[in-house]
Amino acid sequence: MNKFKELVIGDLKAKLPVVQGGMGIGISLSGLSSAVANQGGIGVIGTAGIGLFETDAYSNYFEANIRALKNEIRKAREKTQGILGVNIMVALSNFADVVKTSIEEKIDIIFSGAGLPLNLPEFLQGSKHTKLVPIVSSGRAASIIMRKWIDKYKYVPDAIVVEGPKAGGHLGFKPDQLDDPNYSLDHILTDVLHTVTPVSEKYAKKIPVIAGGGIYTGSDIRKFIEMGASGVQMGTRFVTTEECDAAEGFKKAYVNAREEDISIIKSPVGLPGRVIRNQFVEQIELGERIPYKCPYHCIVTCDYKNSPYCIALALINAQKGNLNNGFAFAGTNAYQADRIIKVEDLISELTSEYNNS
Encode pLDDT of 128-186 as tens digits: 999 999 999 999 999 999 999 999 999 999 999 999 999 999 998 999 999 999 999 99
Whether residues 13 and 85 share a domain: the answer is: yes
Whether residues 304 and 180 share a domain: the answer is: no
Count H helices and E strands in the chain, helices first.
11, 13
Question: Can you give the residue range of the structural domain that contains 300?
Answer: 248-325
CA dist., res. 53 & res. 249, Å (int): 17
Residue 243 in any domain: the answer is: yes
Write the burial class of residue 210 (CB in 10 Å: 0-12 exposed, 13-18 middle, 19+ buried). buried
Residue 157 in any domain: the answer is: yes
| Largest distance between two CA atoms of the chain | 57
Residue 331 in any domain: the answer is: no
Residue 23 in any domain: the answer is: yes
Residue type for position 206: K
Whether residues 299 and 155 share a domain: the answer is: no
Query: Are the C-beta atoms of 166 and 136 separated by less than 8 Å?
Result: no
**pLDDT the model gives residue 263:** 95
Whether residues 160 and 289 share a domain: the answer is: no
**pLDDT the model gives residue 140:** 97
Whether residues 97 and 211 share a domain: the answer is: yes
Residue 288 in any domain: the answer is: yes
CATH (domain of 55): 3.20.20.70
Instruction: Please count the structural domains in the chain.
Output: 2
Residue 333 in any domain: the answer is: no
Could you give the 3-state DSSP secondary structure of residue 173? coil
Residue 199 in any domain: the answer is: yes
- CB count within 10 Å of CB 294 equals 14
Q: Is the pTM of this model over 0.85?
A: yes
Whether residues 173 and 306 share a domain: the answer is: no
Beta bridge partners of 85: 44, 109
Whether residues 267 and 343 share a domain: the answer is: no
Whether residues 217 and 259 share a domain: the answer is: no
Residue type for position 290: I
Instruction: Give exposure, 168-188, as e/b (b: 16+ Cβ within 10 Å).
Output: bbbbbbeeeebeeeebbbeeb
Residues 60-65: contacts with CB under 8 Å, at least 24 apart: 61/295, 61/296, 61/298, 62/94, 62/97, 62/296, 65/94, 65/97, 65/98
Whether residues 238 and 259 share a domain: the answer is: no
Cα dihedral across residues 136, 137, 141, 143: positive or negative: positive
**pLDDT the model gives residue 271:** 87
Whether residues 29 and 83 share a domain: the answer is: yes
CA dist., res. 348 & res. 357, Å (int): 14
CA dist., res. 34 & res. 43, Å (int): 6
Residue 98 vs residues 61, 94, 149, 291: alpha-carbon distances, Å: 12, 6, 19, 29
Single out the residue of 11, 17, 68 nearest to residue 42, CA to CA: 17
The low-confidence residues of the chain, meaning pLDDT below 50, are: 1
Please provide residue 88's backbone torsions phi and psi, each rounded to the nearest 5 degrees.
-125, 115
Residue 30 in any domain: the answer is: yes
**pLDDT the model gives residue 323:** 95
**pLDDT the model gives residue 1:** 44
Beta bridge partners of 14: 7
Whether residues 82 and 162 share a domain: the answer is: yes
Whether residues 263 and 351 share a domain: the answer is: no
